[in-house]
Structure 1
Amino acid sequence: MKSLNEYNFCLHRYRLVPQVYFPEQIHDVIRATKYFLQPEVLQKYKVDPDRIGISGDSAGGNLAAALGQQFTQDANLRNKLKLQALIYPVLQALDFNTPSYQQNVNTPILPRYVMVKYWVDYFKGNYDFVQAMIVNNHTSLDVEEAVALRARLNWTSLLPASITKNYQPVLQTTGNARIVQEIPQLLDARSSPLIADQEVLQHLPKTYILTCEHDVLRDDGVMYAKRLESAGVEVTLDHFEDGFHGCMIFTSWPTNFSVGIRTRESYIKWLDQNL
C-alpha cells in the first residue's frame, strides 16, 4: 500500500480567514488546480493526466467538493478529474438541526456552536446571528430565498431510518430574513455544495465520502452521497460507527486512536483501487 504522502494531490496553503474571506479560498484552489493541469506542468512532475483526483477533509472537503462542481461547469475542464475523495466534509449551512447536529450538539472537537461560528467567520458575518442560525431562523419559511434550497437537503427523504430515528426537523415558520440579506453567501452552492443543481452533480467524477458517527457533519456527507447517487454518480460512502470529526489525524502517540488508523487505511485502500 502506498503511503499517504504518495497521494499528495490535495490542495494546501490556500489563504485563510481572516486574511481573506469566501469566496477567495475557492478562487485559490481553482487557480492552483488549473495551473497544475497544464500539460507542461503535468509532464514536469511526471503526472498521468488520466489519474488526477482531488481530496480534502473537513473545510478542505468543502473546497474539494466546490472545486469539483466548478469544474463540471467549465467545458474546458469537465472530465479532467478522475475522482474526488471527501473526508467528513462540510457541505451546507442551511440546516443546523439535522439528526447528526442534534445527536452531536456538544460532541468534543466540533460542537454545533463552534461549527456555526466557523461559518460566520468564513463569511465575515455578525456573531449576533449565531444563536438565530443555530435554530434555523436564517432558513425559515418566510425567507423566500431559502425555501427552495432547503428542499434539496430534506433529510427526512435523503437519510435512512437508521439515522433519522425519532429526530424531528427544525423548520421555523417565522425567522430572521436579515441574516441571509446580510450574509447571502449562506445560500451559495460554492459554500454549500450539497444544494447544487442536479445538472451540476451529474457530471461529477467517481466519489468517496468518509463519515463518522460522532460528528455534527455526518449527515452532510450521507445526504451528499444520496444526491450524487440520484444524479448517476458512482459513490462509495465509508462510515465509521466509532469515528469522530478529525479522527484521521490522530494516528501517532499519544493520540494514536484505532479509528484514526482505520479511517486512514480505508481511505488509502480506496485510492489504491480507484485512482
Structure 2
Amino acid sequence: MKLRYAGALLLSAAAYYVYLPLPGGGDAAQSLGVCHRAHLLNKVVSWAETIEARSSATVHVSDGELGGVAARIFLSKGDRKPKRGVVYFHGGGWSLGTGRMRSYDLLCRKIAEDLDAVVISVDYRLAPEAVFPDQYRDALAASRAFLSEEVAERYGLDRHRLCVSGDSSGGNLAAAVAQELGSDATMTAHFKAQALIYPVLQALDFHTPSYQQNKAVPILFRPVMAHFWLLYLGADPSLESALLANNQSALDQMVFDPAARSRLDWATLLPARRKKNFRPLVVPKGTPGLLERAPALLDVRAAPLLAETDVLARTPSAYVLTCEYDVLRDDGMMYAQRLRDAGVTVTSDHYEDGFHGCLSFAYWPVASGVGRRAVDNYVKWLDGNL
C-alpha cells in the first residue's frame, strides 16, 4: 500500500515535469532528449498504476482482445442470464493510460459486480505512434465486436442491454462510436445507452466559458488539452498557440462550414448560469492554412459535437457527466443539449465540486468525496438504464 501511495505521488510529479513548458513552446522531456513526453508518463503509469488481471469471488478478470484490440474482460460470476454489458474506453488524451490502470480496473470491476454484468475495457492504440483515425477505428472495431452474436454467445450477453462508455478522450471515442453505429443500418444490434464522462468533443473553441474559467485549474490545463488534440490528429505541435487563439475558427476560414458554428455556439447552447460574464472570442483572421494542416479538426469522428442533428437523433439514450472545475465542462453540456434537441433522452449529472478526472480519485490513496459520489451515481444510472 505504501508503494502504491508513493507511486501516486511520483505520477503527479512526473505529470508536472512532463507538461512543464519551456520557452519557445517546447517541453522538458523532449528538449532534454529523454523521450517523447507521452512515453515518459506512460512509463511512470505502468510502474505506479498498472496492475495484473486478478479475479475475485464475484468477478472473473482476464486479459484478452475484442475485435482484434487488446482488452481487459470483467465477467461477473452472478446468476443473471443473459447479462448486461458495457464496453469502456479509458481517458488520457488518446496518448496516455490503459484500461489496466488500478483506477480503471476498480471502476470496471465495480460495474461488473454491482450490475452482475460483463464489462470490457479496451486498450486502443495510443499516440504518438497511432494518430487519428487509428484510435477511433480501434474503438469502432471493438464496439462492433461487442454487439456481435459471437461475443454475446461467448460471454452470455443480452444484445439488447449494452452500453458504450468512456471518460475524457475515451468519452470522445464512445460518442463517436455511438454516432457511427447508431446510423449503421447493417447492424443487427445497437447500443441501448451511451455514458459519457467529462467527454472532450471539439477543438474549434478553446474559449468556451469553462475553458476561460478553468484554464489553469489542475489536472487538465487548457494548453495541455490543445497539445493532446494536436498529438491525436498527428498535427504540427507548433500549431498549439494558434489553436489557443481560436485561429482555427476565424471568420476568414472559408472552409469552416458556417453550419458547424451553430453546433458549438455556447452562447445559445449553455444556460446563463454557466456563461456568467464570459464573452465569445471571434477572430477575424486566422492562421493561413491552419485547417489544411489539421483537417481532422472538422471531422465529426474526431469532434462528435459537430455531428448533424439527424445523426444525433439515431444515437441511444445518454448519460453525460460534467464537472464545474474542468475545461471540458461546456463540451459535455453543449453535447447534452444538442442530444436533447435531437430528441434523445439525456441524463445530465453535473458536480459543482467536481474536477476533471475525479472518477480516478474515488479510491485510496487519492480518494475524494466527489470521486466516490460520481462513481456511485454513474453505476446507479447504468443499473437503472440497462
Q: Give the TM-score normalised by the residue count of structure 2.
A: 0.69
- How far off is 1:136 after superposition? 0.3
Q: Contact between 2:176 and 2:304, CA under 8 Å: does it hold in 1?
A: yes
Q: Does 1:143 align with 2:143?
A: no
Matches within 5 A, 1:1-275: 3-6=110-113, 9=119, 11-77=121-187, 80-146=190-256, 147-275=258-386
Q: Contact between 1:88 and 1:221, CA under 8 Å: does it hold in 2?
A: yes
Deviates further, 220-229 or 69-78: 69-78
Deviates further, 33-42 or 84-93: 33-42
- How far off is 1:253 after superposition? 2.4
Q: Contact between 1:14 and 1:25, CA under 8 Å: does it hold in 2?
A: yes
2:192 maps to amino acid: K
Q: For the residues of structure 1 that align with 2:155 and 2:203, how far apart are their CA atoms? A: 38
Q: Contact between 1:100 and 1:217, CA under 8 Å: does it hold in 2?
A: yes
Q: For the residues of structure 1 that align with 2:120 and 2:338, how far apart are their CA atoms? A: 24
> Which structure is larger by alpha-carbon Rg, 1 or 2?
2
Q: For the residues of structure 1 that align with 2:273 and 2:296, how far apart are their CA atoms? A: 32
Q: For the residues of structure 2 that align with 1:177 and 1:236, how far apart are their CA atoms? A: 41
Name the structure, 1 or 2, with higher relative contact order (CA <8 Å, separation 6+): 1
2:181 maps to amino acid: F
- Structure 1 pair 79/153, CA: closer, same or farther in 2 (3 Å)? farther
- How far off is 1:175 after superposition? 0.8
Q: For the residues of structure 2 that align with 1:76 and 1:173, how far apart are their CA atoms? A: 44
Q: For the residues of structure 2 that align with 1:143 and 1:79, how far apart are their CA atoms? A: 40
- How far off is 1:18 after superposition? 1.6
Q: Contact between 1:138 and 1:177, CA under 8 Å: does it hold in 2?
A: no
- Structure 1 pair 268/206, CA: closer, same or farther in 2 (3 Å)? same
Q: For the residues of structure 1 that align with 2:323 and 2:205, how far apart are their CA atoms? A: 18
Q: For the residues of structure 2 that align with 1:255 and 1:40, how far apart are their CA atoms? A: 39
1:267 maps to amino acid: Y
- How far off is 1:165 after superposition? 1.0
Deviations 1:100-123 (A, max 9, x none): 000001011101000000000001
Instruction: Could you list the structure 1 runs, at least 4 aligned residues long, displaced by more than 4 angstroms after superposition.
Output: none
Q: For the residues of structure 1 that align with 2:150 and 2:303, how far apart are their CA atoms? A: 33
- How far off is 1:82 after superposition? 0.3
Deviates further, 172-181 or 61-70: 172-181
2:177 maps to amino acid: L
Q: For the residues of structure 2 that align with 1:107 and 1:56, how far apart are their CA atoms? A: 22
Quote the residue 2:45 is aligned against. Answer: none
Deviations 1:141-165 (A, max 9, x none): 0001223312211000000000011
Q: Contact between 2:182 and 2:316, CA under 8 Å: does it hold in 1?
A: no
Q: For the residues of structure 2 that align with 1:10 and 1:224, how far apart are their CA atoms? A: 25
- Structure 1 pair 44/78, CA: closer, same or farther in 2 (3 Å)? closer
Q: Contact between 2:324 and 2:353, CA under 8 Å: does it hold in 1?
A: yes
Q: Contact between 1:212 and 1:218, CA under 8 Å: does it hold in 2?
A: yes
Q: For the residues of structure 2 that align with 1:15 and 1:272, how far apart are their CA atoms? A: 30
Deviations 1:67-95 (A, max 9, x none): 00011221022861100000000111110
Q: Secondary structure at the match of 1:170?
A: coil
Q: Contact between 1:159 and 1:223, CA under 8 Å: does it hold in 2?
A: yes
Q: CA RMSD in A?
A: 1.4
Q: For the residues of structure 1 that align with 2:234 and 2:162, how far apart are their CA atoms? A: 33
Q: For the residues of structure 2 that align with 1:235 and 1:165, how far apart are their CA atoms? A: 24
Identity %: 49
Deviates further, 7-16 or 27-36: 7-16
User: What count of residue pairs does the alignment treat as equivalent?
Assistant: 274
Q: Contact between 1:96 and 1:135, CA under 8 Å: does it hold in 2?
A: yes
Structure 1: unaligned runs, 5 residues or longer: none
- Whose strand proportion is higher, 1 or 2? 2
Q: For the residues of structure 1 that align with 2:111 and 2:148, how far apart are their CA atoms? A: 24
Q: Secondary structure at the match of 2:301?
A: coil
Q: For the residues of structure 1 that align with 2:189 and 2:278, how far apart are their CA atoms? A: 39
